[in-house]
Amino acid sequence: MRHLEITRPTVAANRRVKPGDIVEVVEAEARILIAAGKARPLDGGEPAGGPMMTRGNGALIEGAAADEPEAAGERSAPAFETMTKNQLEAYGRDELGVELDRRKSKADMIADIQSATEGTENAD
Same domain, 9 and 54: yes
Same domain, 19 and 50: yes
User: Which range has the worst mean pLDDT, 28-37, 71-80, 102-111?
Assistant: 71-80
Q: How many CB atoms lie within 10 A of CB 77?
A: 10
Same domain, 49 and 22: yes
- Write the burial class of residue 33 (CB in 10 Å: 0-12 exposed, 13-18 middle, 19+ buried): buried
C-beta separation of 53 from 65 below 8 A:
yes
In terms of Cα–Cα distance, which of 29, 27, 66 is closest to 47? 27
The DSSP letter of residue 67 is T
More reliable by pLDDT, 14 or 107:
107
pTM for the model stands at 0.38
pLDDT for the residue 123: 47
C-beta separation of 73 from 65 below 8 A:
no
The DSSP letter of residue 93 is I
Q: How confident is the model at residue 116 (pLDDT cuts 50, 70, 90)?
A: confident
Same domain, 57 and 86: no
Over range 96-110, report the average pLDDT.
91
Domain presence at residue 66: no
pLDDT for the residue 11: 87
Over range 23-43, report the average pLDDT.
85
Same domain, 49 and 20: yes
pLDDT for the residue 103: 94
Same domain, 6 and 36: yes
Q: Whole domain around residue 111: which residue ranges?
A: 80-117
Mean pLDDT of the chain: 75
pLDDT for the residue 51: 46
Same domain, 55 and 91: no
pLDDT tens column, 42-100: 876 554 444 444 444 444 444 444 444 445 455 566 788 888 998 888 888 888 888 99
What is the tally of structural domains in the chain?
A: 2
For the chain, the C-alpha Rg in angstroms (whole number) is 19
The whole-angstrom separation of Cα 57 and Cα 81 is 11
